Structure 1
Amino acid sequence: MNKFVTFCIAILFFAGCNSQKVSVDYDRNVNFSQIKTYKINTTMATGLNDLDQARLFDALEKNFKYRGVLKAEQSDVEISIRPREYVSTNRGPSVGVGVGTGILSRVGGGISMGIPLNTKSLNQEYTVSMYQKNTMIWEGILNLKMPVNASAEVKQQNMDKGIAKLLANYPPKK
């Protein structure tokens, strides 16, 4: 029974910590199917460590390539990235502990309390903007949440899934 409770708590912890949320906006007057090349403005991606930056650029390259948009020095569009990272404490579910009486006397009473399960999460927010001739034509915001001590594999998987979700409807349909 004790292993079952521990397993349920672990599932709730990891389900609550690994998530991706995206939002996208774009210029409805642009024909995105004509965009075949891009370049990343690497000066905007400051604030990321080298490993996270490599994960982000790799995920973008794979997803754009899948959609027929290739990286090139002379490009149709320029992509800028504004990252933000912070650690938050999440109030998770509570484990209830209770005591009660009243079986024979038909009068019941009880005491219960919840023991909160607090966890720390690493929150990463990436604002990915696409510019054509210095005019923004597309913007997506990706929010990743994972455990603070996530392994490199978990970070890579979250980045890959998040960027795939961010670009799921690219190119936008009119």
Structure 2
Amino acid sequence: MKALKFLFLTFLLTSCGAVVHYDYEKSTDFNHYKSYNYFGDMKTGLSQLDTKRLIRVMDAKLESMGLTRSEHPDFFIDIFSQDIQNRTNSNVGIGVGGSGRNVGGGLSVGLPIGGQKNTRELTIEFVDDTKTGMFWQAISESNYSDNDTPKKREERFHSLVEKMFSSYPPTSE
């Protein structure tokens, strides 16, 4: 039963469909950072409306984490993205297994169905201009549709931001 709960939890956490990678400067004291703002000259690679949606969702998340948006911040946030098209998810898998005296093998081939998928790579960086420069970064890759409604876009940004900030501040290894 525990294995089933673990499997369900894993599915739930990965159901957003986004892959997220983190990196950070290990000498950073994250307790020092209490206020933030965005770079004024950000070129996010998103439409103006999507940029506003993303910033609105990020502000809510950062506020819930105890950070405050300020005109004189401890650090700045930079956001940029790029579209990646024509990704195919085809793959081949080979497996061998057995139990008791029986041994079996299998071959599976995954073919992409549904045509071309739009994939967006979104990068969020925390930068301290006065000290260390960039000290935290999250990069996500997820599918999106140009035909999504504004509500669906905001929901997608919400789940993406939740996943991207799930490991902030990082815990020491």
Q: TM-score, normalised by structure 2?
A: 0.70
Deviation string 1:62-112 (CA, Å, 9 cap, x unpaired) is 11111101111100001111211243364679xxxxxxxxxxxxxxxxxxx
In 2, Cα distance between equivalents of 1:116 and 1:57: 33
What is the deviation of 1:116?
6.5
Structure-to-structure mapping, 1:10-89, within 5 angstroms: 19-88=17-86
1:128 corresponds, among 124, 139, 147, to: 124
Aligned partner of 2:145 in structure 1 is 147
| Amino acid in the other structure paired with 2:142 | L
What is the deviation of 1:147?
3.2
Aligned residues: 138
In 2, Cα distance between equivalents of 1:81 and 1:25: 15
Contact 1:18–1:146, Cα closer than 8 Å, also in 2: no
Aligned partner of 1:156 in structure 2 is 154
Structure 2: give runs of 5+ residues left out of the alignment. 1-14, 92-110
Larger Rg: 1
| Amino acid in the other structure paired with 1:68 | G
Secondary structure of 1:22 counterpart: strand
What is the deviation of 1:18?
5.8
Structure 1: give runs of 5+ residues left out of the alignment. 1-16, 94-114
Structure 1 stretches of 4+ with a deviation exceeding 6 A read: none
Secondary structure of 2:85 counterpart: strand
The structure where strand makes up a greater share of residues is 1
Contact 2:16–2:159, Cα closer than 8 Å, also in 1: no
Contact 1:26–1:139, Cα closer than 8 Å, also in 2: yes
| Amino acid in the other structure paired with 1:173 | T
Q: TM-score, normalised by structure 1?
A: 0.69
Task: Give the aligned CA root-mean-square deviation in angstroms.
Answer: 2.5
